[in-house]
Structure 1
């Protein structure tokens, strides 16, 4: 119940015993990282640490979690406040990704790590073999690695604009290397905007083809 209760619902039902899913999301994020790491370590003995890190990042990144939540129709059973409901909260990418992590956190607390692993074996791990996640590239991690490799300085991100109505929000993120702007990205969530900005920065640095 808590895993599928959004903070907007709790805010509209003050004085009742509802709890939102934010703490479960925190736990689920860590459980997901651990179980996916275990699977990759066990099933891909020839894969290097760097390759496993990239594949895990692609599996647990927001776009992948959104797709998993959509496949399981989690959006239909979230408890939302009226305002969030009216502005399209059930389809909001960040909200869906959070709910998937919350569910994993709740499953871990209720049933333990083995059950989480079994659930992922049914719904997530087969997609790895099908190559689903190889299409999702984590540009932020790539950029961080590239910068650290050559000790070029520090990467930071800044949301410089939010535009559009609440149900169709767009975020604009700018990425900086030290104090120099390296690219601007636009996305439906802050994470997506940062990924797009990181992709631009990699192209700017010549680390990606411009195509």
Structure 2
């Protein structure tokens, strides 16, 4: 696998961890669809479980120490904001994890390298591999570097944990209306993929996919919120716009 080997090396450089055991990196990137076509290969599912536990420990301990005045509910909401699948998938894209994934032919052709569930699982598996290879210090360092932006957002407001709530508040403020979600699904019952679209202002503003309805809607809400927030920031920074709102929302 010369091409895969090169992708592994590039990913290790981006992550900033020199693996003492390179096989751990390959294992972290081996999806079960690849293993189904290569009988001698193991999947990354066990590493994913380990990485999920390591990530949960790192984030929960950080929040507990950093915000002694937060109630248990705030801590739980903040943790969810940082480690939800859509957030982890976004970080995985940043590091180019999708390019390095070992996928079966069918999964690859169906867009597996961009699926939220595969990317978030692979990120957790990679964290688990770093933990086994370099210990908790190395794993914590990577986790906080990868999620620093998200952690800073949560520090300002733990309620950012729910993308749908965040979008709802912004759409109501800007448009005086609520976002509307539509869902479609495809695939067999044991492996459905859901596609969500969120609309407001007479247009589709965000799309997302996931292995559950909730995951797909959260991904769509995240995309829509970022687009609307960016538009708001541009409007407020422009001297030619006084309200920073879409024309149809601010005119009588």
Report the TM-score range of the alignment, normalised by the length of the smaller protein: 0.5 to 0.7
Displacement of 1:19? 1.1
Distance 1:192 1:69 in 2: 21
Deviations, residues 177-200 of structure 1 (Å, cap 9, x unaligned) = xxxxxxxxx962233436859xxx
Candidates 209, 213, 237, aligned match of 1:188? 209
Candidates 68, 75, 90, aligned match of 2:98? 75
Candidates 115, 118, 137, aligned match of 2:162? 137
RMSD (Å) for aligned C-alpha atoms = 3.0
Deviations, residues 150-193 of structure 1 (Å, cap 9, x unaligned) = xxxxxxxxxxx83379xx94269xxxxxxxxxxxxx96223343
1:136-155 superposed matches below 5 A: 136-137=161-162
Deviations, residues 5-44 of structure 1 (Å, cap 9, x unaligned) = 1111111112x3x211011111111111101011111222
* Contact 1:29/1:105, CA 8 A, preserved across alignment: yes
Is 1:2 the counterpart of 2:23 in the alignment?
Answer: no
1:62-101 superposed matches below 5 A: 62-101=85-124
Q: What is the total number of aligned residue pairs between the two structures? A: 160
1:10-89 superposed matches below 5 A: 10-14=35-39, 16=40, 18-89=41-112
1:143-182 superposed matches below 5 A: 162-163=185-186, 169-170=193-194
Distance 1:56 1:130 in 2: 12
Deviations, residues 103-161 of structure 1 (Å, cap 9, x unaligned) = 1111111111111111122221343114598544078xxxxxxxxxxxxxxxxxxxxx8
* Contact 2:85/2:116, CA 8 A, preserved across alignment: yes
Structure 1: 5+ residue stretches without partners = 140-160, 173-185, 198-211
Structure 2: 5+ residue stretches without partners = 1-25, 165-183, 197-206, 219-252
Distance 2:120 2:136 in 1: 20
* Contact 2:81/2:154, CA 8 A, preserved across alignment: no
TM-score, with structure 2 as normaliser: 0.56
Change (3 A) 1:131 1:54: closer
The structure number with the bigger radius of gyration is 2
Give the number of the structure whose residues are more often helix, by fraction.
2
Distance 2:116 2:208 in 1: 10
* Contact 1:54/1:138, CA 8 A, preserved across alignment: no
